Amino acid sequence: MSFVLDHMTKQFVYGMLKNQNHYMFLMDIKVVFDNNNNENKSNKIGGNGYTICSGSYDDTIRIWDIETTKQFNLLEGHSSWIMSLKYGSNELLNTILSGSKDKSVRLWDIRSRQQIQVFNGHTSLVYAVEYSPFVIKNSIGNSNVICSGSYDNTIRFWDIRSNNNELHVIEGDKEDNVIFCLKFIGLKKKEKTNGLNLCYGSWRGPIRIWG
């Protein structure tokens, strides 16, 4: 597993792993800004606004201020290792998505430190979580979609407003065995139109693209 980090982030992660008892398995990074008209003024999370969320073998998710190297949030609820994490964006800016060895996918509210939803359906540990660009329109209104990839070799799509059964399931190729990572990307097609595709990486090594 590897990360691409700027100089300040590298220093922070080194210090955290050296001085804390939180054995970090994975992380995501985000800039948090104050809710005012001055986009250059960061929130009260250090001077530069950078935060890291980390997942650990201790079953917790922790949010850290890079500049002060202080932990300022702790999310607890999973019953086993945290295997995947993702910060939200746009209207889901204040959320974190997580997948765990306990087979569940969970959506968290950073501000209240509370779990919003838990999604059960995978039959093995969840290696990848991703916010989908798709939106469901129904009588209630619009609802965002998330997806997850698992050791059970499936990709599952979920409605964030409901913790009921999944919206859709993609079965990975039999030779793949495990879904390790997910990413939505825009690919330019021959018809000169930009399409959105789901890419996933598997245990055997190939990267597959769904369009």
pLDDT tens-digit map of 107-129? 999 889 999 999 999 999 999 99
- C-alpha to C-alpha distances, 198 to 10, 50, 98, 182, 185, nearest whole angstrom: 30, 28, 19, 7, 6
Terminal Cα distance for the chain, rounded: 27
pLDDT in tens, 71-114: 888 999 999 999 999 998 877 888 999 999 999 999 999 889 99
- Residue-level pLDDT at 190: 57
Residue with tokens 């809710």, as numbered in its chain: 35
Q: Is the pLDDT of residue 170 over 80?
A: yes
Exposed, middle or buried, 9 (CB in 10 Å: 0-12/13-18/19+)?
Answer: middle
Beta bridge partners of 73: 63
Contact (CB, 8 A) for 152 and 172: no
- Between 172 and 143, name the one with better pLDDT: 172
Q: Is the pLDDT of residue 4 over 50?
A: no
CA atoms of 159 and 177, how far apart (whole Å): 26
- Residue-level pLDDT at 40: 35
What is the pLDDT confidence band of residue 203, given thresholds at 50, 70 and 90? confident
Cα dihedral angle (2, 6, 12, 18), rounded to 10 degrees?
40
User: What is the mean predicted confidence (pLDDT) over 137-142?
Assistant: 57
Joined together, the tokens standing for residue 139 give 């009588």
Looking at every residue in the chain, the average pLDDT score rounds to 77
- Residue-level pLDDT at 43: 34
User: What is the mean predicted confidence (pLDDT) over 15-40?
Assistant: 53
Q: Is the pLDDT of residue 141 over 60?
A: no
- Between 2 and 48, name the one with better pLDDT: 48
Share of the chain above pLDDT 70, in %: 69
CA atoms of 89 and 82, how far apart (whole Å): 21
User: What is the mean predicted confidence (pLDDT) over 164-174?
Assistant: 84
- Residue-level pLDDT at 46: 41
User: What is the mean predicted confidence (pLDDT) over 38-44?
Assistant: 36
Domains of the chain, earliest start first = 1-210 (2.130.10.10)
Distance of CA 100 to the CA centre of its chain: 11
